[in-house]
Amino acid sequence: MLIAGNWKMFKGPGETRSFLESFEPPEGVDVIVCPPYVSLAAAVETGRTVYAQNVHWEPNGAYTGEIAPEMLLELGVHGALVGHSERRQLFGESNEMVARRARTALGAGLGVIACVGETLEQRESGDTDLVLKIQVEAIAFAAGAHEKLVLAYEPVWAIGTGQTATPAMAEEAHGFIKDILDRPVLYGGSVKPENAAELLAQPSIDGALVGGASLEPDSFAAICRIASASDREHG
């Protein structure tokens, strides 16, 4: 079971250090934290598994504001998120860009969590499967079933809204995704201690990508403990 905390644009180096120094992940769960770029070094120093929130596809070049895989590796960072819906929606990242980011990061030796998910409009118009197929196939085509690749199903309408996919809805989407690309799939979208157990109990849900509830040590620790218990139940 894997629990990843996406801190988005929260927590500078000082707060990152104090959070992680007092946070002890329970047995049976792999925990990843994804702090902002400027806090990556502080996070690495605490000995935790650390992913950046994005990564570029070139080793260097005139790409203002971007960070290369080799730079993350030099810092001791273990991997990167790619294709988060906030990147896709607010910064115009296309499936092709996401796929290139995934391919070069994996090629450089980083782990990758590649995010996919439909908007509310797409779900309501019955296009969920089509959207997921296009997003996952772009990643599959570029990266294949790489052993350091994990996917995250994050319905856009459930991110930061307090609305969560029902366990059955999430299970169905995870099964659909795995039929295209056979890699572990995390669920993301308003996961919190109150709903984590029933989501993580689904057979095709391999962990969670947690935003808001990962910012607070008690709620993040509670989710990690639930994942650890769920891991023991499911072997």
# residues contacting ligand PEP (CB under 6 A): 13
Q: Min. distance of Cβ 74 from ligand PEP in angstroms?
A: 26
Contact 69, 105 (CB under 8 A): yes
- Residue 201 neighbours by CB distance under 10 Å: 14
Can you state the angle between helices 217-234 and 193-200, rounded to 10 degrees? Answer: 20
- The answer to whether 137 is a known catalytic residue is no
Among 57, 159, 148, 72, smallest CA distance to 116 is for 159
- CB within 8 Å of 34: residues ≥ 6 apart: 4, 5, 6, 7, 50, 51, 52, 53, 81
Residue closest to ligand PEP (Cβ): 211
Shortest distance in whole angstroms from residue 167 CB to ligand PEP: 16
Contact between 186 and ligand PEP by CB under 6 A: the answer reads no
The answer to the question of residue 171 lying near ligand PEP (CB under 6 A) is no
| Options 190, 195, 202, 228; binder of ligand PEP; rule CB under 6 A | 190
Tokens representing 83 are 């294709």
Tokens coding 140: 């599959």
Nearest-approach distance from CB 106 to ligand PEP, in angstroms: 20
Closest C-alpha among 66, 86, 83, 65 to residue 8: 86
Shortest separation between residue 62's beta carbon and ligand PEP, angstroms: 29
Check residue 191 for interaction with ligand PEP (CB under 6 A): yes
* 84 included as an active-site residue: yes
Residue in 84, 93, 118, 174 annotated catalytic: 84
Piece of the chain touching ligand PEP by CB under 6 A; list 58-66, 122-130, 198-206, 209-217: 209-217
Question: What is the DSSP secondary-structure string of 18-33?
Answer: HHHHT--PPTT-EEEE
Smallest separation, CB 67 to ligand PEP (Å)? 19
Of the candidate spans 116-124, 127-135, 188-196, 216-224, the one that interacts with ligand PEP by CB under 6 A turns out to be 188-196
Of 189 and 207, CB closest to ligand PEP: 189
The catalytically annotated residue of 86, 118, 154, 171 is: 154
Q: Kindly state the tokens that stand for 15.
A: 């707060």
Helix segments in the chain, DSSP class H: 13-21, 40-45, 69-75, 85-90, 95-108, 120-124, 128-143, 167-180, 193-200, 217-234
Binding site for ligand PEP (CB under 6 A): 6, 154, 159-160, 188-191, 209-213
Catalytic residues: 84, 154
